[in-house]
Every structure is written in C-alpha cells, then in structure tokens.
Amino acid sequence: MHIEEVLQGVGQVRRSGPSVDVTSIEYDSRRVGPGSLFVAMQGGTTDGNRYISTAIERGASAVVTDSAMAFQDAAVKHAHIAIAEVAHGRSALAPLAANFYQHPEAHLALSGVTGTNGKTTTAFLLDAMLNSVARTTVLVGTIEYHVAGEMVESPHTTPESRDLLELFARGVSAGATEAVMEVSSHALEQGRVWSLLFDVGVFTNLTRDHLDYHRTMDAYFAAKSMLFDGSNGVAPRISVINVDDAYGVQLAIMARDAGSEILSYGWGAGDFHAEDVQMSAAGMRFRLVTPNGSVSMQTRLSGKVNVYNLLAASAAAYARGLTLDEIAAGAASLACVPGRFQTVDAGQPFTVVVDYAHTDDALRNLIALAREFVKPGNGRVITLFGCGGDRDRTKRPLMGRAAGEGSDFVVLTSDNPRSEEPEAILRDVLPGLEATGVEFIAEPDRAKAIQIAVEQAKPADIVLIAGKGHEKTQTLRERVISFDDVEVAATAIQSLAPTGAKH
C-alpha cells in the first residue's frame, strides 16, 4: 500500500522523505522487514524512538515518530526514508493500521466487555450465543483469541490496535460479522481501542485491582468509563450495565448522557434479572426476566457470579438481535470457560477446582460459591492462593483476609512472583490471613503447595486452587517456567494413596 494511503486521516505535524510503498505496519522493531512502516512511540517503560535506526537497518521504508528530535535526526541521517511526525504515536497507530488493513472494524459489529471480574466468562458466553445462531465471530480476550473458529494465542487481554486490527482483518476475510472483546482499563487508557465504534458495551463490576498502575479507584473507574462516556470516540449504541454495582449506577447515567441506550441488569432488579435460581456443582437453572418476556435458562456454569455473567451476556446478545430462545440455547451450549471454576477429576473422592480469582473480591466470591457445595459439618473448603509480584501490594493483606474468613484451611503460596522474592510477598499477605485465625500453611513453592492442599483433603471437601486459572506458565525473577495448575493438581492427586488422600 502507498504511504500516502496509510497516512490518510492521521494528523501529521510534519513530513519528509520520498513517497514509498508500505508492506506492513510494525511498532516492534524486531518484527520489521523490508518495506515496513515502523511506528516509533513513547511508552511508559520504553521509548520506541530509540529503535528507529534498528528498524531502518532491518528494511523499514517509512517511520512515523512522536518525537520532534527523532524526526529531525532521521530526516537528516536517512533522507531515503519516508518520515512523518505525529503528536501521539499510540493514538496514530490505530488509524495507520486501520488504513493499512482497509478498515476491517467497519465490517464488524463490535461488543466490548469491561469490568474487574467476569469479563472473560461474559465474553465467552456472548460469543457462544452468537455462534449458536450461525454468526461468525472474532473473540479477543484474556485466555485466547478466536478468529472465525480458529484459536490464536493471547499475549494480552486487549492487544495493541495494530494487532487487534490484523485479527479483525483475518476474521473479516473468513466471513466474520461480529467481534466480542474484553476491554481492559490499560487498553482504554493507553488508546489501544481508540476510535473503535462499539455497538454494544458491557460493564460487569468494579472492585480493587490494578492500583499499581492506576493508583486510585477514581482513576481506575475513569479508565473503565472511557468505553461508555464518549471519550473513546463515540459511546456504544447500547450499554449493558450492572446496576447492582455502585460504579455501574454512576456509569449508567454517564452513558445515557453520552447518547447510549441503557440495558440494566442485576440479581433481582434491572431490565434483565433472574428469578427462581437453582444451583448445584454441576450447573444451574433460573428464569431470565427481560423487557420482552422471560425464558428458562439452563447452564453447566454455576454460582452467583455466573448468574451475573449470564445476565450480562444475555442482555448483550439481546442487543445484538437474538431472541430469548436463542439466548437460552446459546447459554446451554457453553460447557466451561478454561480456568474459571474448572474442575480437576483424577478419580479422587473430593472436589478440586482451578480458578483465575486473583483479587480479594474475586477470591471471596469463589470461596462463597464453593461453600454452597459442601455439606455443613461434613465437607471443608481448602483454599490455595498467592499474590502476584510487581503488582498492587496493598491488596495482599486484603486477599489474606478474604481467604481466611471464608475457608476452613488455607495454603498460602506464590503466584507469578516476577522480580520480587516470594517470601517477601507472603509476608505482605500474612497480617490479613493471621487476623482471621484460620489454620494455614505457607509454602512458596507452588507445586509443593498444591501437593499439600490435596493431601489435606478428605472426602466431601473442596480444594480451590486460585490465582492462575488458564495460565500455563509461572513468571519468576530470571525466567518463565511451564506451570499449569490443572496438570500439577492432577499429578498431585494421582500421587495420593488409593483412598484419595494421605492421612
């Protein structure tokens, strides 16, 4: 594609160099090849302008930079390269990529799901509902990406705009007409979804998380609000809002003021709500009440949190034109979401569940759900969890308290310690955990901790392995190792005595 076509509509401060053809758009110099346009943008941890020379050495035919100094330097040293200066590199990346990929987003009805908890399950449910009526979709989220039924690895919950638009282009080429995506607060604040027109926006809830990045809950909420208040470009045609959440009540007002139609949902109130809820470990059923009547819902998911997720997905599917019967059939079609209350069955006489819960609120909800499935006075809830390194330290004692208050026994361990010492992270958790008086063991080696947790279990107990869910690796100070909670738990169970536990 010609450089002038790629730059169309991208606000340029100035331009120099020849007219050239562009073979790809890249923001990572390691991916640059002959004819690439390299977008050099300043970020929070690195400055892409430092790699302009590297990109040119690798064959870049054009550079877009957000640094006046880098523009001047490149224009002098590399007169044979097309150079453009823009005000903000990341903001320019989206329209550059949209132009290059010929605006695939214009051919997709976009549904975006944001919130602290429930984004992944809600997105999977909505995707399943759309697929059940033969709509071809692109799914973008934490666990994995789906492009017209093909699974693609998911390095980020919400990818950079260039990568997102490439996924959309692949989907459109394969016949996709819908896209369902998790939209993180980081992505909104960093402009990764800048100017995308969302037909439907979904807000699940807002609880304490990512304060290492956002610093305050007000700033965290402001980032989430960008999907609904018009500051991302245009507010969604329809906003699906959890009005049982205090932040959701505020957001509904903001979205309505921005011109969005509101579909509210909640446990017992809202446009979409649930009646006659019946739960078991194997699934649940309830009556979905909507502005257009009601329908019986049956699903293999269970727990109060999944009622909310189903309400959110159902309202979004309704906004996308599905009938109530189609919504119910779509909900029933989803067997499970990897790493979300995922059971591990290796023949043991107790239940083992792997779940992604990694905030105090999510952990509390997970334990409350488990408590519903153990018999009072007979079964126990055993919870294994840790806290991630290089993340919000203030939530660590809160997670300790949440685990201790709800569980009968706790195993405290590591969860992606990154550059921190695992023992130091555990010490931050202990004040909250010890205050509850629960019996616990601290073991920083996660594999050993999982072994301890299953060895503690007796028939009728439930063991919760929380924090990593679908993840297949453990991030340590100097390396990343393979680590799958599901596989490690299965191995630990298989090592037990034939009765299922060592006592």
Binding residues for ATP: 115-121
Angle (CA) 377-381-384 rounded to 5° is 160
How far is 303 from 483, CA to CA, in rounded Å? 27
Pairing of strands 439-442, 409-412: parallel
Local structure of residue 291 (DSSP, 8 states): T
Output the CA–CA distances (angstroms, integers) from residue 166 to 192, 230, 398, 413, 416, in the order listed. 13, 24, 40, 39, 30
- On whether the CB atoms of residues 250 and 222 are closer than 8 A, the answer is no
Within 13 Å of residue 477, how many CA atoms lie on the same side as its CB? 6
Kindly state the tokens that stand for 346.
């290796």
Q: Mention every residue, 6+ apart, whose C-beta is less than 8 A from residue 162.
A: 25, 26, 27, 39, 93, 94, 96, 97
Angle (CA) 218-201-152 rounded to 5° is 105
Residue of 397, 395, 467 whose CA lies nearest to 432: 397
Buried b (16+ CB within 10 A) or exposed e, 291-329: eeeebebebebbbbbbbbbbbbbbbbbbbbebebebbbb
Residues annotated in a binding site for meso-2,6-diaminopimelate: 391, 415-418, 467, 471
Output the CA–CA distances (angstroms, integers) from residue 444 to 387, 447, 476, in the order listed. 11, 9, 12
Residues annotated in a binding site: 29, 115-121, 157-158, 184, 190, 192, 391, 415-418, 467, 471
Alpha helix (H) residue ranges in 292-351? 304-319, 324-333
Output the CA–CA distances (angstroms, integers) from residue 95 to 88, 193, 363, 400, in the order listed. 12, 10, 39, 45
Kindly state the tokens that stand for 271.
């446009």
